[in-house]
Amino acid sequence: MMNLAIEVSKTSTPESVLFWILGPACVLAALGMVLAKKAVHSAILLASVMIILAIFYIAQDALFLGIVQVVVYTGAVMMLFLFILMLVGVDTSDSLTETIPFLRPIAILSALGFGGLLITLIGRATLGHPMVGLTEVNIEGNVPALSQLLFSKYVWAFEVVSALLVTAALGAMVLAHNHRLVARPTQRDLSIARFRTGSLATAAGLPNPGVYALHNAVDVPALLPDGTPSDASISAMLVARGDVLESLPFQLPAKGGDE
Amino acid sequence: MTSNSLVYLIALPLFGSAVLLLAGRRSDRWGHILATVLSGSAFVVGLVQFAQMLGRSNDQRAVTQKLFSWISVGTFKVDASLMLDQLSICFVLLITGVGTLIHIYSIAYMSHDLDRRRFFAYLNLFIAAMLLLVLGDSYLNLYVGWEGVGLASYLLIGFWNQKPAYATAAKKAFVANRVGDLGLSLAIMISFATMGTVSFAGVKEQAGHASTGALTAIGIMLLIAATGKSAQFPLQAWLGDAMAGPTPVSALIHAATMVTAGVYLITRSNFIFDAAPTAQLLVAIIGAITLLFGAIIGTAKDDIKKALAASTMSQIGYMVLGAGLGPAGYAFAIMHLLTHGFFKAGMFLGAGSVMHGMDDEVNMRRYGGLRKFMPITFATFGLGYLAIIGVPPFAGFYSKDKIIEVAFNAGGIKGITLGGAALLGAAITAFYMTRVVILTFAGSKRWDDKAHPHESPALMWLPMVLLAVGSVTSGIIFTHGNSLQNWLAPVVATSPAHEGELLKPAVVSILALVLVLAGVGLAIMKYLRKPVPSEAPTDVSIFTRIARRDLLQDDFNEAVFMRPGQKLTEVLVATDELLVDGAVRGVAHITQSTGRTLGMTQTGFVRSYAMWILLGAIGLLATIWVVTL
Amino acid sequence: MNAANYLYVSALLFSIGAIGVVVRRNAIVVFMCIELMLNASNLAFVTFARINGNLDGQVIAFFTMVVAACEVVVGLAIIVTIYRSRRSASVDDASLLKR
């Protein structure tokens, strides 16, 4: 009997291996997500945390949730995140200097305290408690068992949540709907506006990025007639990401001069 | 008996006042005529009422008119209703009659004033308020009129309010009156608290059952009210300054009618005073003090109007003394009031006429020998003079001698003291009135050559003549067959019982006449035989100086009330600033600084709020941690 | 190995998410941290379901996922709206509560 209890409360060895590899990886990825300077990196790291969690779910006999985690979270939600990131601008990288005094040390200290309290509490709550396991419940398979619960005991919550989903979809549409205050400017309007700004520097349009015999790419600044590279020829996004090449190597050697 | 026409007495002048005030400058050309006609119409209504009253038997003469139910709270019910009885009709005729004469006089007197219309509006307002005062059938109705005349008096004293001194005089009169008004309102409250009613009839009925203490309290409060309105000691100080108003106002309000309201109040409340001997004695004492007080001030005044004002104060002292002598004196107090209304109004109008001819000069030392230039004014003023000093058969002789006689007959030390004071007052009255007449009309001229004394127009001397006729004849009419006494008997319960007479009427009359002649003689010696300096001499005795300073009445008020009051105010202001304001500011400061400090937690950054949530969650967890330990 | 280890991981992930919410200023990253916290709690639910031997925890985790999806949709829409009017996705710029 005693032996059995121990047997049940313990997980199997392959699962231990899985946990001890993926667990630290998961925590590290989460830390990386918080520390990453660029939002895109955060998103990728979050996606990896979610996938690890999906594996954990499956390892813990929650097959349906694991699949849903991958499909809904890692698939849909994270795509949504990335999509919004692109929309808002990937170039808006966070400056990491803190504006609110003492917020960062307090936050780290309190998060440590929070985690510590939580872990000690969990330790206290589960130590000595035998683990039941889901083998018995999942005898007909995880999905039918879950659906039975969902459509009997939790059917009311299920309906309410479906209403919530519809509402959220509508709400998002309403929020995202851009009500134009003025008519969309036509090409003609833009052209007129360009000439009316006073300076005629941009009247003919901004210069194209560098196009050279050896090399042409959007990440190389164009050379102005006097030989200086023009910042205006490069997309601001590339400048923000630092993905700009030097134009110097592509310049033609100065004519005559020394020779 | 009820009557539907009483309200017109009040409504007519009130309507005139409203029209003149609301129509503004548009009524400048005809406003004074409308006001005079309306005042005259009120007089006619009064005469009609009087004629009807004469036609009824003596106990059927009072008429009432209920206008509307004014206050109805629980058991406290007051109707706005009017009552015209034998006492009221005397006042109604005096107010409307003399009032109309003074309206006529003012048309000429104020003809050069740009604001004549406003003047007449106020005059009409006064007439209406005064009629309400004497016609009200309860103390509360009387109170409305009482305040109304106070307002009209204030407006008219300060009529030329472009002069700060005049505006101050108006304010002084108003404040002094307010002190008295407080007495009246307290009397009304006590009367309601103890008897549950404020109507004259109700209080009269209940007076027999009420305690003497309550009645004495009501009586003293009514006396305070009377001293305020009638310029009696100790609230007399305002009357002299009230002469700042135009002379017709002084004649109507501050000689003939409003200042006698106190006498009316005491006489009307005879049922209270008769049941409260202490209060009644106090009334007599106040009257005696004031009649001497006023007379002494009168001897020292060089301003003709102020001399007459002091005389008014003194004469009202006689009336109050009479009213304080109980049933024996009420009728004579009213008689003196009526005769005084004639001769004093006449003399004030005469003074106005003199001022009119002398470019508004009021200093009698700058007059002299005016009888040649103003014969009619001299004649009417002289008749009034003879009436006030009490020469037979002029009006004052009958009324004043009766009061002196009744005072002596009050019995004991009280009678001798009061009677002696009244007799002495008569002698001083003769002295200062002779002085006024000599300084103004006799002697040599002391005025500048710039002045061109002349007789006033007919519109002015006609009222004076009519009033002079009244001063000559009224005494005879009122005393003929004790007519006024009998007339008033149902209201004031006169008791002509002369049990234990101290002095026979003839003895009193002879004694008074001798003293009057002595006063006149002294004045002639002092002012007619010797030249009068045109500037008041400064090397005079301390008594003269005190008398010139109005017997230190203002100094007394300033020392006893004003300065301690100012000090108290200063202390209160300082307390207010330090303690109250300090506390308030302290609380505000604490609240503000607490708010600032707490406000620093509200950065507006959502992350800091998230931080607070996190801290809260930690607190929760820590609690669970501790509890489950 | 004990199943409680999953709970420890969950606690760590939750704390890390909490730090991120407070410290990061990019609204999208803040949102991701919130998602991380939700996922951490989901892990705890699933683990509890396993320890207790019934599926209620899994059902709750399922509901959490649905609600989180809703929240992401609406939240991101709000971020887009704010970005459209302010040209900034920093939560510090949206500090009208104070000013």
Of the pLDDT bands very low, low, confident and very high (cuts 50, 70, 90), residue C99 is: low
Per mean pLDDT, which range of A153-157, B268-272, B454-458, C14-18 is the poorest? B454-458
Alpha-helical regions (H) of chain A: 2-9, 13-35, 39-59, 63-68, 78-88, 103-126, 142-152, 155-176, 187-196, 236-241
Token pair of C85 as six digits: 């009017």
Token pair of B317 as six digits: 């002292």
Task: Give the CA angle between residues B3, B125, B41 to the nearest 5°.
Answer: 50
Token pair of B549 as six digits: 């300073």
| 3-class secondary-structure state, position A129 | coil
Q: Which residue has the higher pLDDT, B74 or B131?
A: B131
Residue C34 confidence (pLDDT) above 90:
yes
CB contact under 8 A, A107 and B615: no
Contact residues, chain C, for B603 at CB < 8 Å:
95, 98
How far apart are the C-alpha atoms of A21 and A23, rounded to whole Å? 6
Residues 6+ apart with CB under 8 A from B387: B339, B342, B343, B394, B395, B396, B397, B471, B472, B475
Compute the average pLDDT of residues C63-70. 92
Residue B499 confidence (pLDDT) above 60:
no
Task: Give the CA angle between residues B607, B613, B614 to the nearest 5°.
Answer: 90
DSSP letter assigned to residue B64: E
Residues 6+ apart with CB under 8 A from A31: C16
Q: Which residue has the higher pLDDT, A213 or B614?
A: B614
Residue B340 confidence (pLDDT) above 80:
yes
Mutate to test the interface with A, among C46, C48, C79 (most CBs of A within 10 A): C46
What pLDDT does residue B506 have? 80
pLDDT tens readout for residues B439-488: 888 888 887 777 788 888 888 888 899 889 888 888 888 888 778 888 88
Using the Cβ of A25 and the Cβ atoms of chain B, whether some distance falls under 8 Å is answered with no
Compute the average pLDDT of residues B490-496. 70
What pLDDT does residue A31 have? 94
How far apart are the C-alpha atoms of B512 and B389, rounded to whole Å? 10
Nearest CA in chain B to A118: B621
C-alpha distances (whole Å) from A203 to each of A226, A235, B543, B557 are 19, 18, 108, 93
Which H helix or E strand runs over B418? helix B412-441
Instruction: Point out which residues pair with B78 in neighbouring strands.
Output: B71
Helices (H) and strands (E) in chain B, counts: 26, 2
Mutate to test the interface with A, among C30, C43, C87 (most CBs of A within 10 A): C43
pLDDT tens readout for residues A9-55: 556 788 889 999 999 999 999 999 998 888 889 999 999 999 999 99
Contact residues, chain C, for A119 at CB < 8 Å:
8, 11-12
Residue B266 Cα to chain centre, angstroms: 13
Instruction: Point out which residues pair with A229 in neighbouring strands.
Output: A223
User: What percentage of chain A reaches a pLDDT higher than 70?
Assistant: 84
Nearest CA in chain B to C34: B610
How far apart are the C-alpha atoms of B543 and B522, rounded to whole Å? 17
What pLDDT does residue A94 have? 60
Listed by start position, the domains of chain B span 557-598+605-628
CB contact under 8 A, C97 and B614: no
CB contact under 8 A, C67 and A9: no
Residues 6+ apart with CB under 8 A from A15: A59, C1
Residue A213 confidence (pLDDT) above 70:
no
C-alpha distances (whole Å) from A31 to each of A19, A73, A104, B4, B388 are 18, 19, 15, 103, 116
Amino acid at B545: R
pLDDT tens readout for residues A110-143: 999 999 998 888 888 765 667 777 888 888 888 9
Nearest CA in chain B to A113: B618
Using the Cβ of B605 and the Cβ atoms of chain C, whether some distance falls under 8 Å is answered with yes
Whether the bond between B234 and the residue before it is cis, its omega within 30 degrees of 0, is yes
Q: Please answer whether residues B515 and B423 qualify as being in contact, where contact means their C-beta atoms are separated by less than 8 angstroms.
A: yes
Q: Using CB atoms within 10 A of its CB, is residue B600 exposed (0-12), middle (13-18) or buried (19+)?
A: exposed
Interface partners of chain B (CB pairs < 8 Å, 3 or more) are A, C
Residue A90 confidence (pLDDT) above 70:
no
Contact residues, chain A, for C26 at CB < 8 Å:
39, 92, 94
Residues 6+ apart with CB under 8 A from B10: B82, B128, B131, B132, B135
Provide DSSP, chain C.
-BTHHHHHHHHHHHHHHHHHHHH--BHHHHHHHHHHHHHHHHHHHHHHHHHHTSSHHHHHHHHHHHHHHHHHHHHHHHHHHHHHHHS--BTTT--TTT-
Contact residues, chain A, for C77 at CB < 8 Å:
171-173, 175-176
Q: Which residue has the higher pLDDT, B533 or B82?
A: B82
Contact residues, chain B, for A117 at CB < 8 Å:
618, 621-622, 625
Using the Cβ of A118 and the Cβ atoms of chain B, whether some distance falls under 8 Å is answered with yes
What pLDDT does residue B223 have? 92
What pLDDT does residue B142 have? 92
Query: Least CB-CB distance to B610: which of C21, C95, C98?
Result: C21
Nearest CA in chain C to B611: C22
Compute the average pLDDT of residues B487-502. 66
Per mean pLDDT, which range of B200-204, B206-210, C45-49 is the poorest? B206-210
How far apart are the C-alpha atoms of B522 and B304, rounded to whole Å? 19
pLDDT tens readout for residues B175-206: 889 989 999 999 999 988 888 888 888 888 88
What pLDDT does residue B501 have? 60
Contact residues, chain A, for B617 at CB < 8 Å:
114
Contact residues, chain B, for C99 at CB < 8 Å:
604
Contact residues, chain B, for A118 at CB < 8 Å:
621
Using the Cβ of A117 and the Cβ atoms of chain B, whether some distance falls under 8 Å is answered with yes
Q: Which of B442, A8, B466, A110 is nearest to B474 (CA)?
A: B466
Interface partners of chain A (CB pairs < 8 Å, 3 or more) are B, C
Token pair of A15 as six digits: 């699962």
What pLDDT does residue A7 have? 43
Token pair of B308 as six digits: 């007459």
Mutate to test the interface with A, among C66, C83, C95 (most CBs of A within 10 A): C66
How far apart are the C-alpha atoms of B570 and B535, rounded to whole Å? 41
C-alpha distances (whole Å) from A173 to each of C75, C77, C80 are 12, 8, 11
What pLDDT does residue A190 have? 83
- Return the C-alpha torsion angle B52, B55, B61, B66, nearest 10: -30
